């Protein structure tokens, strides 16, 4: 489930320096000195519920921006996103 993944990745990134997180990382043989920099990654959105307004909370574009781009710190300049509003929507959609 993406919610579980998002919850744990966000938690680990936000608590990276805490004793509990440092211990957990060491237990799983992850070097706690090397915090991932997701800003340097590229993000590619591979799905969308088209046609849907990208400002709607149930749009995948909205979800990706909220939880991955902003929530995990990806660079929007390196993100390939599907924005239905830019593709075009018929009147009333």
Domain locations in the chain?
1-36, 38-93
**pLDDT tens-digit profile of 37-93?**
999 999 999 999 888 899 999 999 999 999 999 999 999 999 999 999 998 877 766
pTM for the predicted model, two decimal places: 0.82
Token pair belonging to 78: 């390196």
The pLDDT of residue 32? 96
Selection from 24, 13, 2 nearest residue 71 by Cα: 13
The CB density around residue 25, as the number of other CB atoms within 10 Å, is: 17
Distances (CA, A) of 74 to 19, 27, 39: 25, 27, 4
């Amino acid at each position: 489930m993406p919610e579980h993944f998002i919850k744990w990745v966000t938690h680990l990134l936000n608590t990276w320096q805490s004793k509990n997180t440092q211990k957990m990382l060491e237990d799983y043989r992850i070097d706690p000195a090397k915090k991932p920099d997701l800003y340097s990654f590229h993000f590619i959105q591979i799905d969308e519920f088209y046609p849907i307004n990208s400002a709607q909370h149930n749009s995948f574009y909205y979800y990706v921006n909220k939880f991955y781009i902003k929530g995990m710190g990806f660079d929007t300049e390196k993100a390939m996103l599907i924005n239905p509003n830019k593709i075009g929507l018929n009147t009333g959609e």
